[in-house]
A and B are shown apart, each in its own frame.
Chain A
Amino acid sequence: MTRLMYYEWYKAFGGFKWLIIVVILIIKAVFTYQSLDVSVDFSIPIYREYISELSEMSQSKAEKFILSENERINSVLGGYTEMESAYSSGKLSLEEYKAYIKIYHDAKSKASAFNAVYQKHEQLSMLSNENRIYFYDLEWYTFGEYMGLDFFAIFLIMIFTVPIFCREHSLNTHHLNMVCKNGRTKLHITKLMLGFISGLVLGLLAYSIDFAIFGLRYGFEYSDMPIQAVMGYSHNADNVSVLGMFAAMSVSKVLWCGCLALMICGICALLRNNIISVIMCAALLFFPMQVLKLNENSPSWLYSISILSGLSGSKENIDILTPLINTAIWIVINLLVTATVYTKRRE
């Protein structure tokens, strides 16, 4: 079977295809992390400024600074109506009012960023003393966000897995294969294994390249901090470091990639047409995602079967069990499909 697997691999990935995959993934990763822009609702430069100031302070000094800054901003913003009426009634001169307005705008522009800093302070206060370090975490936060719905990984897996089954019919070699001793069930199982392994390898490549490019760009500073210190992960119950968290997430996602590949194999084995298989696979991936977006109360098992939740970004706890269960489900489904294709369905 190993030899047969080699030929099947050569059919699917022979020549320069692996190179193309790697190049596409590198370009995508470089493009993604070129300027790590996060979708947050506060000013990043101001946040960075605060964090760099706090990182140079001791814990007690930092705490004092945060509390005093909080009070200052609140009092400036809260005093607007009063200052306005004071100016209207002549209690305040134009110069004084202008000076206040300048302070007001400054405070207003800093308010949302400081709010994020304040939340970080509360996050860190729940950790042990040695972990209460203020560090710029938006890079790790964004890395987690970008690890979500990875369309490139899904797309590559789809494009390279579909031909594993559909090529035989498009090239009209299926007759020659089916009359051979090992040309039915054994060949089918070999293709399934190849599909699964390819999904795992493509996923591994995608996330490894992401890690590598991210590391080259930003380094892995503070990767040993607890994950709860990173914005958005404060409710995470896993006792794991930042690097450990993302590594575990990658493992989970690589398993999901394998599961996705199995799903695609099952569909292709039934449909046996390149374009129609791509359509059905894309529909099975896309529609549940839409249903989820429109109705968040929909049953999640629907999405775990279509493996989208596995490929969505998640700030919840590490979950290796669900992809394993889904992989097992899809293996069973594929075995049923194998039986169907070769016993019930004939030309």
Chain B
Amino acid sequence: MLRQELKRILQSRVFIILAALTAIYFAYLTASYFFSNKQTITQYQKDAEVTNAFLSEVSDQSADGANLYNTLKEMYLEAENELGRLSAQGTGEGGQMSDEMQAEYDRWRIAMHALDCVGYQFDEYPSFAEKTIKKAYLLSNDGSQDEYTIRLNKKAVEEYNVARSFSLIDTKPAGIWHEMYSARYRYFYIFLVFVFVILSADIFCYEHTHRLCGMVFTSKNGRKCLLFAKLCSLWLIAVVTIVVITIADISVCLSIVGRELIFEPVQVLPIFRRSTADLSFLTLIIYSGVIRLLLLLLVICLVAAISTVSRNALVSLSINAVLMFTAFALYSYSIGYEKINSISGDIVLYEKRFELYEKLRGFLPVCFVNPISYVEKFDYMNICGYPISRLAVCITVTILISAVLVLTAFSRFGKASKAIRLKIKKG
């Protein structure tokens, strides 16, 4: 049954058109970002090679991180002073830098890069972790000593004290990869959600659209078995889609950041400074894929439930599209960032919108369109006095909603519409 249904779906016009559009869009997006940033990527990669070579040369001379940091800082300041001295002497012919100045400039640039890497690993990251623990403490009920606060503080200390081993390499290419990766999610995955809404609405209402109800629903496997086959087929398509996209993302990541960086902890990026997630860039991509897959599975269940009630593809599509629009609108409306407002000297730490955003991320599965937001900081919710990770809460909510929707779909699929039931009753 599953095979037949899958075959029928793959051969349907709607699927072929949607698949073609998705493929074109994904290819365009990837190529556009990749090729428009090619020069920058190449430049970063070249710089990284030189910086990494420089770092390994210098690190041989130092015993530990702190010494290495001081050594590099001295080198950087020396180069800066020398550059200043040479600039004061004037530039070469036609305003170009002299060879000596160029060499000093290169040395200064490489030293700055190296200092950035080392400084982050041995100075910024540890101190930021400490600040974040304090902030986590502050977040919870203004520092009052209830049980939740104590548990949260303990958790923060535990998580942040996990030792992270960073390789001593230039991480600039990782930054540009992440920018590309994040920019893509904003539109592509929202688009993917609507693609699955349209496809699912067509599949679940197929029998009604093509007037096959009489023949299909009266056959042995024409109800629950058929619905199960439809659900599994669509879930399978969702899995394959996410796997393909994830593989593509990994390939792009590899080509930009290289094999060394792909296994580095994500904490090398500033956006992940406050993160306690034990993820590398590779596992980040896989994790994002899995979370987005959950979202697609939920969308399929939602469309199944609504389609089995509405029995009309266009009506189902409309209702689901409105629900998705509303959810995304709510999510975009509430995205905020910390603002410090001062009203006549008083300081207010958070805006209301930011609080709404945090709540939505716990209970609105469409927020899975940006799964990185769940791991980029220490992120817990107070559930009955226990700090539960926001991601875990949202996954639980997603699974529960999906289960309810699937049960609704199974109870309604194959039943006659009200008009027909009334007609039969009248005789």
Contact = CB atoms under 8 A, between A and B. Distances in A.
A276 B64 CA distance: 64
A283 B21 contact: yes
A106 B340 CA distance: 10
A109 B202 CA distance: 53
Interface string B323-367: 001000100010000011111110100001100000000000000
Interface string B17-43: 110010001001100110010000000
B32 A105 contact: no
Interface in A1-48: 24, 31, 35, 37, 43, 45-46
Contacts of B103: none
Given A37-B353, A106-B342, A278-B198, A162 B17 contact: no
Given A24-B322, A155-B325, A279-B21, A162 B314 contact: yes
A49 B345 CA distance: 12
B321 interface: yes
Contacts of A159: 314, 317-318, 321
A129 interface: no
A117 to B, nearest CB: 14
Interface stretch (A61-69, A93-101, A286-294): A286-294
A280 B317 CA distance: 14
B187 A37 contact: no
Contacts of A49: 343-344
A275 B347 contact: no
Nearest to B345: A106
A109 B191 contact: no
B200 to A, nearest CB: 11
Given A151-B325, A287-B25, A275 B201 contact: yes
B322 A109 contact: no
B313 interface: yes
A151 B326 CA distance: 10
A43 B342 contact: yes
B25 A46 contact: no
Contact of A275 (B14, B25, B28, B29): B14
A144 B331 CA distance: 21
Main secondary structure of the interface of A (DSSP, over half): helix
A109 B353 contact: no
A43 B339 contact: yes
A152 B325 contact: yes
A37 B333 contact: yes
Given A43-B339, A109-B347, A282 B194 contact: yes
A295 interface: yes
A279 B17 contact: yes
Given A45-B343, A290-B25, A275 B191 contact: no
B315 to A, nearest CB: 9
Interface residues of A, number: 35
Given A155-B325, A283-B21, A43 B341 contact: yes
Contact of B32 (A37, A286, A295): A295
B389 to A, nearest CB: 28
Contacts of A37: 333, 353
A166 to B, nearest CB: 8
Contact of B209 (A170, A286, A293, A295): A170
B313 A110 contact: no
A275 B341 contact: no
B205 to A, nearest CB: 9
A163 interface: yes
B18 A279 contact: yes
Given A45-B341, A279-B17, A294 B317 contact: no
A274 interface: yes
B313 A275 contact: yes
B37 to A, nearest CB: 11
A279 B342 contact: no
B342 A46 contact: yes
Nearest to A151: B325
Given A155-B325, A278-B198, A287-B25, A109 B342 contact: yes
Interface in B198-219: 198, 201-202, 209
B196 to A, nearest CB: 12
B13 interface: yes
Interface in B67-96: none
A307 B191 CA distance: 19
Given A155-B325, A294-B32, A295-B32, A278 B343 contact: no
A105 B347 contact: yes
A155 B194 CA distance: 12
Contacts of B198: 275, 278-279, 282
A109 B21 contact: no
B56 to A, nearest CB: 36
Interface string B178-205: 0000000001000100100010011000
A279 B14 contact: yes
B325 A163 contact: no
Given A46-B341, A109-B342, A170-B209, A276 B314 contact: no
Nearest to A283: B21
Nearest to B18: A279
B342 A276 contact: no
Contact of B314 (A275, A279, A291, A293): A275
Nearest to A27: B326
Interface string B46-70: 0000000000000000000000000
A283 B25 CA distance: 10
Contacts of B25: 287, 290
20 contacts: A24-B322, A31-B329, A37-B333, A37-B353, A43-B341, A46-B342, A49-B343, A106-B342, A109-B341, A155-B321, A159-B321, A274-B314, A275-B314, A276-B14, A276-B17, A279-B17, A280-B17, A286-B191, A287-B25, A294-B29
Closest 4 interchain pairs by CB?
A109-B342, A43-B341, A275-B202, A274-B314
Given A43-B342, A290-B187, 4 more contacts: A110-B342, A155-B322, A279-B14, A279-B17
